[in-house]
Structure 1
């Protein structure tokens, strides 16, 4: 296309011209620190979750640390209007995550407050979740969890303020006896996932597992 000639797609890391469906070049792809988690193992993200709430299984796609490529990728996804990056991250996830015929019943992503959704124009987790849903043939529900309060980004809050937040989420539907896979972008303190998990667990005889794009070191 003409636009591709004048505005070619470039690698997020080295600025090399790449195929329009890619986000990094082959060389820079090797710099991404994938966790290679086994979803069913007692891995480090599961250990962190277990300190906060009962969790069945957990998976993190990438490591997330200061100035690494994973951080750049997620920053572009969340703040630079590059929603399609979610599809690429979903493809990378499906290459590493095998449920071994023990799939969850429902995929649920962390919601944005309606005001934040309007400001950003999209939820950075929706396309990611929808592509996982299609690949694994597991239903998703973007309306299952409601965010009750508008607040500034977690990354801009200090730890004490994050810990003081109470009841930020609520469940919009009755559900019991289900295995829910909670999906978020970055696991930092884990407080957001814990808040949602406890609402799901209190609602009935449910189980919770976790999937994140990256885990903060």
Structure 2
């Protein structure tokens, strides 16, 4: 392809030319710190979530590092219109996460406010969620939760202001008796997933598990 010759795909970390369907080269891939969390066991996210809301299981794919490859991956996904990054992260997840015989009933990703969605042009979690849904054969619902207030991007706030911020969510439709896998990109304070989890838990006899792209604790 002429475009591939003129504008070859490059590693987001070191700028080496790589295959069109890749995100990083082999050398930089080896610098990514995967968490190796046990979805059914104890981990840092589960410990944090249990202080905020009742949670069943938790998993994070990678460790978010301010100066590492993981930060560039998340920023490519969220701020540089590289939506396909979500599909790649989902493929890495499927290679490492096994729900065994305890699959959730429904996948729900954290929503963007409509204004933020218009600004960005896409929700960075949708392709990630849809790819996981297809692999695990678990349905997803992008419109179950709505974000009621427009707010500054979490990644652009310092940690003090992340702790002070209050994100308000509500349910678009009633849901009861479901085990819901709540999906977000970066877990820092847990405020966002906690706010959504309580809306789901208040709605009926539901259970919550959490899946995160990158954990920053």
Answer yes or no: is 1:48 the counterpart of 2:81: no
TM-score, length of structure 2 as denominator length:
0.97
Unmatched segments (≥5 aa) in structure 2:
none
Q: 1:96-155 deviations in whole A, cap 9, x for unaligned?
A: 000011100000000000000000000000000000000000000000000000111112
| Partners of 1:103 and 1:190 in 2: CA distance | 23
Q: 1:151-183 deviations in whole A, cap 9, x for unaligned?
A: 111123355544454561001111111000000
Q: 1:21-47 deviations in whole A, cap 9, x for unaligned?
A: 000011111100000111000111111
Q: How many residues align?
A: 217
Alignment check: 8 A CA contact 2:167 2:192 kept: no
TM-score, length of structure 1 as denominator length:
0.97
| Partners of 2:157 and 2:144 in 1: CA distance | 26
Aligned CA-pair RMSD: 1.2
Aligned to 2:179: 179
Answer yes or no: is 1:67 the counterpart of 2:67: yes
Aligned to 1:133: 133
Unmatched segments (≥5 aa) in structure 1:
none
Q: Deviation at 1:48?
A: 1.1
Q: Please show how residues 32-181 of structure 1 align to structure 2 within 5 Å.
A: 32-159=32-159, 161-166=161-166, 168-181=168-181
| Partners of 2:15 and 2:47 in 1: CA distance | 37
Alignment check: 8 A CA contact 2:166 2:191 kept: no
| Partners of 2:155 and 2:134 in 1: CA distance | 30
| Partners of 1:96 and 1:162 in 2: CA distance | 30
